[in-house]
Amino acid sequence: MSGPRVLGFDGVTVRYQPGSVPVLTGVTFALGQAERAALVGLNGSGKTTLLLAAVGLVGHDGLIEVDGLQVGRRTAAEVRRRTGFLFNAPEDQILFPQVIEDVAFGPMRQGEPRDAAYRGAAEMLDRMGVSGLARHPVQHLSHGQKQRVALAGALVNQPPLLLLDEPTSSLDPPGRRALARVLDGFGAAMLVATHDLEFAGRFCRRFLVLDAGRIAYDGPDRLAAERLLGS
Ligand SMILES: Nc1ncnc2c1ncn2[C@@H]1O[C@H](COP(=O)(O)OP(=O)(O)O)[C@@H](O)[C@H]1O
Ligand SMILES: [Mg+2]
């Protein structure tokens, strides 16, 4: 890890119900500035839970830090402001009927004037390869298009940390390559939950493997990660 940590997990355990079997157990790792890691694991291994815990959307025992803030009820709103989050279902985070309005909302909420926010949003849609969709109604977009719009919204405030939950799940191969290029050019620390190690290997040199809620591997060896996934 290089420099101060942007995301830190120390002995993090998550249970959805008190007294139930933990979904994450003793998870410990850290990401430095601009460091990128793929978070891989079979269905149900705890990837989404880990990302949600990082921004305080599910409770945890142990310590989680984002950009120097200890994640908890009091800090959750500020943690979310400093984090770009792509949910597994993009519908969950697109709030406005028109694409450009939705992407411009983040900067406007941060206090940017409307014109600057719309310019920034248009630029980010262009980087995502969907500038032609700016004036489209969100409800007419395909799932893959919604995913790119949601990602533009997550990136537009230039957050120091990006948490992406299966960002390629509905992208075609050219869409995946374009996304890998965009992410590669972005200076944030990133944790990317994915099943697609070929995609992740394009811009991540670190693989975190979750196995039934525990970190089973943390290192640069993609083949070791693949073996643990049984692929
Ligand atoms: N809201 C919830 N309440 C109870 N159990 C949950 C909830 N969300 C996820 N789980 C359980 O937690 C485990 C990990 O799920 P999840 O984090 O979604 O894994 P992944 O993203 O790796 O597929 C699974 O056993 C899942 O059933
Ligand atoms: Mg998941």
**How does DSSP assign 76-134, residue by residue?**
HHHHHHTEEEE-SSGGGT--SSBHHHHHHHHHHHTT--HHHHHHHHHHHHHHTT-GGGT
Reply yes or no on whether the pLDDT at 174 is more than 60. Answer: yes
Structural domain spans, the chain: 1-82+159-231, 91-157
Q: Whose CA is closest to 52, among 21, 20, 19, 16?
A: 16
Taking CA atoms, 11 is separated from 68, 72, 101, in Å, by 17, 15, 40
Tell me the C-alpha distance between 192 and 154, whole Å.
13
- Locate the ligand 1 atom nearest the alpha carbon of residue 88 and give its number: 21
Per-residue pLDDT reduced to its tens digit, 77-120: 999 999 999 988 888 888 888 999 999 998 998 899 999 999 99
Measure 200 CA to ligand 2 centroid, in angstroms.
16
Kindly give, in sequence order, each residue whose CB lies less than 8 Å from that of residue 11, ignoring residues fewer than 6 positions away: 26, 27, 28, 61, 62, 63
Q: Whose CA is closest to 86, among 186, 1, 155?
A: 155
Measure 21 CA to ligand 2 centroid, in angstroms.
18
Q: Which amino acid is at 72?
A: G
- State pTM to two decimals: 0.93
Q: Are 94 and 153 in contact (CB under 8 A)?
A: yes
Q: Which ligand is nearest to the CA of 49?
A: 1
**Three-class DSSP category at 178:** helix
Nearest CA to ligand 1 atom 8: 49
Q: Which ligand is nearest to the CA of 15?
A: 1
Homologous superfamily assigned to 1-82+159-231? P-loop containing nucleotide triphosphate hydrolases (3.40.50.300)
Q: Are 1 and 30 in contact (CB under 8 A)?
A: yes
Taking CA atoms, 204 is separated from 18, 66, 199, in Å, by 35, 20, 9
Protein residues whose CB sits closer than 6 Å to any atom of ligand 1: 16, 23, 41, 43-49
Per-residue pLDDT reduced to its tens digit, 18-73: 999 999 999 999 999 999 999 999 999 999 999 999 999 999 999 999 999 999 99
Q: Which ligand is nearest to the CA of 211?
A: 1
Measure 40 CA to ligand 1 centroid, in angstroms.
14
Reply yes or no on whether the pLDDT at 1 is more than 90. Answer: no
